């Protein structure tokens, strides 16, 4: 780590007024270690990716995304396929990747950990989807992607209210979706690791999970999920039952989620999701907590895609 750009979102999280001071402390830690470092402030949604591209062009060997999972997600789009390392400092409401890397601490302390971190080359997920204008788009992801219920939930989270109420809003909106959603079914065709032939199921929700620890109570959300996977770790909800959903969440909160006939955990090479014949339901898709678009969707792994700074104490 010789030349670093810290890209930070001044509006991330519930305590954004102190972000600039926290970033200055992080910069001081880097400069004391002999690292050439600068802070770049995002000005609008999508600008983190543009700033990351500029940092790569200027010869930075590391870009540190300071914000929530959404900021990390934007920066990832510009670093995937390059040799520039990605570091993570938590400043947002949801900091799942930072939690998984053992970096849920102050920016200055997180940067100290990153100074001793190992640059590890990893695979990432890739989701291809249809946007609101009907155009086919794609995004990389490191935390998780979802099609169905969780994407609907994310689409209903108001950014201003999220900054004001934090996780409380997540819980309230999750309960509202659980109580009112009809859980419409769609088709998913899985190419499993042990077979070249697709298996087609009708499901109401698909989760593709890349990390083990989402922070807080969800510190072992999906057994077998890890950043080091060369495959997709999927959770297919083959049910419309509110009670099945509720029981799965309770089990996950206690680290006891497991595969059942109704909610199956699958290791796959790829998965394609499409509407059921005759269905008019609009099924949303998300990645890393960012709402993207809707069906049809394809999700796969991109090998050797990004260099991530992983502290020696982390268990990703």
In the chain, where the domains are located? 3-116, 124-303
* Cβ–Cβ under 8 Å, residues 158 and 174: no
124-303 topology per CATH: Tumour Suppressor Smad4 (2.60.200)
Is pTM, for the whole model, over 0.85? yes
With cut-offs at 50, 70 and 90, classify the pLDDT of residue 125: very high
pLDDT of residue 88: 97
Which residues lie closer than 8 Å to 196 by C-beta, 6 or more apart? none
Residue 34 has pLDDT above 80, yes or no: yes
User: What is the C-alpha separation between 213 and 102, in angstroms, rounded?
Assistant: 9
Percent of the chain with pLDDT over 70: 93
User: What is the C-alpha separation between 97 and 251, in angstroms, rounded?
Assistant: 21
Question: If you average pLDDT over residues 38-46, what whole number do you get?
Answer: 89
3-116 topology per CATH: Rossmann fold (3.40.50)
With cut-offs at 50, 70 and 90, classify the pLDDT of residue 14: very low
Domains 3-116 and 124-303 share a fold: no
Over the stretch 67-91, which tens digit does the pLDDT of each residue have? 989 999 999 999 999 999 999 999 8
User: What is the C-alpha separation between 291 and 139, in angstroms, rounded?
Assistant: 11
Beta partners for residue 7, in sequence order: 40, 65
User: What is the C-alpha separation between 200 and 271, in angstroms, rounded?
Assistant: 10
Identify the H or E element spanning 38.
strand 36-41
Calculate Rg over the CA atoms of the chain.
19
pLDDT of residue 16: 54
Question: If you average pLDDT over residues 161-183, what whole number do you get?
Answer: 70
Of 48-57, 150-159, 244-253, the poorest mean pLDDT is in 150-159
Give all strands (DSSP E) within the chain, no chain letters. 3-8, 36-41, 62-67, 85-90, 118-130, 136-141, 144-148, 186-192, 199-203, 205-209, 232-237, 263-274, 284-287, 290-310
Question: If you average pLDDT over residues 137-150, what whole number do you get?
Answer: 96
Q: Give the 3-state secondary structure of residue 184.
A: coil
User: What is the C-alpha separation between 275 and 66, in angstroms, rounded?
Assistant: 37
User: What is the C-alpha separation between 294 and 297, in angstroms, rounded?
Assistant: 7
- Rounded to 5 degrees, what angle do the CA atoms 146, 75, 215 make? 55
Residue 172 has pLDDT above 80, yes or no: no
Of 92-96, 122-126, 263-267, 274-278, the poorest mean pLDDT is in 92-96
């Amino acid at each position: 780590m010789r030349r670093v750009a810290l890209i930070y979102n001044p509006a991330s999280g519930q305590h954004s007024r102190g972000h600039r001071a926290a970033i200055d402390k992080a910069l001081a830690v880097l400069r004391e270690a002999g690292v050439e470092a600068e802070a770049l402030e995002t000005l609008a949604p999508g600008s983190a990716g543009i700033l990351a591209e500029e940092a790569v062009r200027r010869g930075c060997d590391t870009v540190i995304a300071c914000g929530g999972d959404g900021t990390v997600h934007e920066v990832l789009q510009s670093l995937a396929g390059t040799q520039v390392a990605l570091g993570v400092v938590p400043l947002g409401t949801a900091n799942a990747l930072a939690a998984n890397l053992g970096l849920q601490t102050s920016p200055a302390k997180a940067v100290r950990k990153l100074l001793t971190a190992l640059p590890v080359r990893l695979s990432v997920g890739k989701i291809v989807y249809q946007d609101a204008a009907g155009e086919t788009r794609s995004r990389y992801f490191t935390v998780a992607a979802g099609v169905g219920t969780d994407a609907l939930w994310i689409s209903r989270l108001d950014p201003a209210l999220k900054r004001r109420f934090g996780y409380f809003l997540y819980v309230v909106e999750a309960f509202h979706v659980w109580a009112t959603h009809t859980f419409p079914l769609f088709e998913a065709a899985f190419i499993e690791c042990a077979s070249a032939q697709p298996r087609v199921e009708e499901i109401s929700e698909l989760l593709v999970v890349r990390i083990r620890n989402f922070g807080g109570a969800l510190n072992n959300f999906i057994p077998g999920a890890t950043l080091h996977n060369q495959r997709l770790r999927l959770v297919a909800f083959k049910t419309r039952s509110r009670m099945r959903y509720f029981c799965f969440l309770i089990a996950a909160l206690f680290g006891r989620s497991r595969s059942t006939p109704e909610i199956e955990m699958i290791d796959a090479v790829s998965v394609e999701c499409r509407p059921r014949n005759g269905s008019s339901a609009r099924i949303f898709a998300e990645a890393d907590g960012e709402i993207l678009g809707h069906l049809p969707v394809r999700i796969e792994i991109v090998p050797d895609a990004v260099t991530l700074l992983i502290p020696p104490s982390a268990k990703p």
